[in-house]
Homo-oligomer: A and B are copies of this chain.
């Protein structure tokens, strides 16, 4: 099984027919590879990852050089600095990528896990077996490290994958792909288990998200516009990652030191991550004490506060008034909306109404309110007495994540190896028939 060789004209956007043919070939090759991957043994999958990791390290100069070409072209095309930054690969990036592959090789194989077996009155012994999803299409921006991470997670979970990275990263992605291919070959696994699109034609994305016979799920990683376009047009199921409007709620009986530390960390440890908080809620009885400490801390970090009237009473007019719109915002910036609430009910209602059901935390010493928060806050991660920044694949022990699902079916929150698999039913019988 060969990765279909694209026509030269594909890269510059050939005739419609060519992209379609190319994508069909890719899809068929992926489907065939997925069947072999589903039965590939753990040792072979790990070997592919370890050989690919070694190849990345050996080819470190070539990788950095290929990336430098991408960066140069992107700079000539006046790509934004933030995007240039994500595109750029240093030697350190490559070493981290290689280590990522080794880490994934070290994770337990989710395929073949059996659970919930029980005898039924008929005598059949029924349970579930975890199996790969099949073919996973990943559509992402110009972040070359995603190529290695996503391919590795799909490979370890027994899936075939089709990767479509941002066009600015095409040389970097192809160079990484060659290392992955070396791993697949060494382990005698089908080469089409990982395919990286060799075309930058945008029609390829629209074709891929409608290839329901040969693609089983699409994981888009990118801006809201890209994800909305994919969700609107896909015929293949999509595991989406939309915005994170996250909250910390400081409850009446919180330990003040802990509450202050968690709220500060959840906002300022990094501004651009989806599990960073955008709003802070504080119980009325804790408002003065916690705001008097948090106000100067946020000021020292240059975090702009937008508060309800009560917050402005405590901290003064230097705090901008929060508008209704602020409660909905995902700033991804040093801005924080702050509201004083009268009780847990108001906090939960606020989070469920304005939040994005992503990640929310309560700081409390009260048993009943902790339990209520855990149950009633409808978010993919709910935390008691921990920073929202703890909600990610590495901290949760998934080893790595392919994204964070904001969907409500299949998987919520950080998506690791298990999120790339599904359970089928298995029955052991002794001749049982239906009466």
Contact = CB atoms under 8 A, between A and B. Distances in A.
A342 interface: no
Contact of A428 (B380, B385, B412): B385
A259 B78 CA distance: 70
Given A376-B39, A409-B410, A395 B120 contact: yes
Given A122-B395, A408-B134, A413 B425 contact: yes
B410 A261 contact: no
Interface in A348-377: 352, 361, 374-376
A265 B434 contact: yes
Interface stretch (A198-206, A230-238, A315-323): A230-238
Contacts of A428: 384-386
Interface residues of A, number: 69
A254 B374 CA distance: 52
A423 B412 contact: yes
Interface stretch (A62-70, A125-133, A177-185): A125-133
- 3 closest residue pairs by CB, A with B: A386-B429, A389-B434, A265-B433
A378 interface: yes
Given A235-B232, A390-B122, A408-B216, A424 B430 contact: no
A46 B412 CA distance: 27
Contacts of A217: 408-409
B424 A413 contact: yes
Interface in A28-67: 35, 38-39
B38 A387 contact: no
Given A385-B431, A389-B433, A422 B409 contact: yes
Contacts of A124: 383, 386, 390, 395
A426 interface: yes
10 contacts: A38-B376, A122-B390, A216-B409, A258-B431, A266-B433, A380-B424, A387-B433, A391-B427, A410-B422, A413-B424
A433 to B, nearest CB: 4
A124 B392 CA distance: 12
A105 to B, nearest CB: 20
A80 B291 CA distance: 71
Nearest to A216: B408
A427 B126 contact: no
Nearest to A270: B434
Interface in A400-434: 407-414, 422-434
Copy number of this protein in the oligomer?
2
A255 interface: yes
A425 B118 contact: no
A426 B379 CA distance: 10
A425 B134 contact: no
Given A379-B424, A387-B432, A390-B432, 16 more contacts: A35-B352, A39-B376, A120-B395, A122-B390, A122-B395, A129-B382, A131-B378, A216-B409, A237-B408, A255-B431, A265-B433, A361-B427, A384-B428, A385-B430, A391-B425, A409-B422
Interface of A: 35, 38-39, 112, 118, 120, 122, 124, 126, 129, 131, 133-134, 216-217, 231-232, 235, 237, 239, 255, 258, 261-262, 265-266, 269, 352, 361, 374-376, 378-387, 389-391, 395-397, 407-414, 422-434
B427 A381 contact: yes
**Most chain B beta-carbon neighbours within 10 Å: one of A122, A216, A427:** A427
A237 B409 contact: yes
Contacts of A433: 261-262, 265-266, 269, 386-387, 389-390
A29 to B, nearest CB: 16
A429 B383 contact: yes
B39 A429 contact: no
Given A395-B122, A431-B262, A433-B269, A382 B255 contact: no
